Amino acid sequence: MEKSTNFLLDIADKTAYLTINRPEKLNALNRATLEELATILAKLKGDSNVRGVILTGAGEKAFVAGADIAEFRDLSADDARHLAASGHHEVMDVIYNFPKPVIAAINGFALGGGLELALACHIRVASSAAKMGLPEVSLGLIPGYGGTQRLPQLIGRGKALEMILTGEMMSAEDALQCGLVNYVVAPEALVTTCEQLLKKIYAKSSTAVSAAISVVNIGLVKPEEGYLAEIDAFGTAFSSLDFEEGVSAFLEKRKPNF
């Protein structure tokens, strides 16, 4: 296991276990943490031994309890815009468009920037003890790392606005009911559930998985381009080695070797 200032990283069985390791701060996202996360993501993206990522927080209390508010006090408006832009471009958008599946294992509070981090992941699995919310309006702010855009895509405009405008937290079960998370499980089953999901994905073509992530994202961000992107990616798949193996395996009635 690799240990850095703010993270624990362990790679095993094709999976990167990435843990935000600031439990004394409830794993809050300060600028140093975001910069380090950007560096780790770049490393994992290029690591051929990694096919998926499980992202979680250290301790039992929090996934990520938000941004480090102490850093906000002396920011100018331009400073704040730069902070939001760098968080978007270097971390949240990177995770959202990551070519390998990233699963958020939400083990406790996921608030503000922490929920936005989970929203950027491809799949969310929550502990039954988890609580989620976007409380920025209580500080005279709004979400700045994609929450106003990604939350409505997942749960609809009305419910998203209720969460954002009231700043109230949502239970794990309520999050499941509205589609914010994919599964709610007992705390002790959180990581194993994520592992089981990734195991199913690893049995499929990695090139097809990557293409599917890309095309789904294009359709959400630029709906007018989604169908054309799908058509292009579908055609491109026919020239891949995984397509040859997948069709051969199907016709030979065996499991494909991706």
How many C-beta atoms lie closer than 10 Å to residue 44's C-beta? 19
| Domain final residue pick, 202, 218, 238 | 202
Structure tokens at 157: 């405009």
* Residue 165 within a domain: yes
Indicate the pairing of strand 123-127 with strand 131-133: unpaired
Same domain, 163 and 237: no
51 and 162 assigned to the same domain? yes
User: 4 or 246, which is more confident?
Assistant: 246
219 with 129, same domain: the answer is no
pLDDT digits (tens, 9 = 90+) for 91-134: 999 999 999 999 999 999 999 999 999 999 999 999 999 999 99
Query: Lowest-pLDDT range, 4-8, 80-84, 203-207?
Result: 4-8
CB atoms within 10 A of CB 73: 6
Based on the fold, state whether residues 152 and 247 are members of the same structural domain: no
CA distances from 55 to 9, 125, 217, 222 (A): 10, 10, 20, 27
Q: Is there a single domain that holds both residue 216 and residue 95? A: no
| Whether residues 176 and 228 fall in one domain | no
Q: pLDDT (tens digit, 9 = 90+) per residue, 130-153?
A: 999 999 999 999 999 999 999 999
Same domain, 210 and 198: no
In CATH, what number is assigned to the domain containing residue 159?
3.90.226.10
State yes or no: pLDDT of 4 exceeds 80: no
Closest by alpha carbon to 123, among 62, 25, 197, 59?
A: 197
What Cα–Cα distance (Å) separates residue 80 from each residue in 66, 71, 83, 87, 141? Answer: 16, 10, 5, 11, 11
Residues spanned by the domain of 210: 206-251
Beta bridge partners of 102: 53
The crossing angle, in degrees rounded to 10, of helices 157-166 and 147-155 is 140
Question: Do 179 and 226 share a structural domain?
Answer: no
Catalytic residue numbers read: 116, 136
Q: Name the residue among 6, 100, 120 with its Cα closest to residue 53.
A: 100
* Residue 88 is assigned to a structural domain of this protein: yes
What sections of the chain are H helices per DSSP?
A: 31-45, 77-87, 93-96, 113-120, 147-155, 157-166, 172-178, 190-202, 206-221, 223-237, 241-251
DSSP state of 257: -
Specify whether the CB–CB gap between 251 and 243 falls below 8 A.
no
- Domain count for the chain, please give it: 2
Residues 134 and 227 in one domain: no
Cα 48 to chain centroid distance, Å, stands at 20
Instruction: pLDDT band for 3, please (50, 70, 90 cuts).
Output: low
* 256 domain residue, yes or no: no
Residues 114, 72 share a domain: yes
Of 187, 202, 217, the residue that ends a domain is 202
Answer whether residue 188 is part of any domain.
Answer: yes
Q: Based on the domain organization, do 133 and 210 belong to the same domain?
A: no
258 occurs within a structural domain: no
Does residue 257 form part of some domain? no
Interatomic CA distance for residues 33 and 64, integer angstroms: 11
Whether residue 148 is contained in a domain is answered as: yes
* Residues 233 and 190 both lie in one domain: no
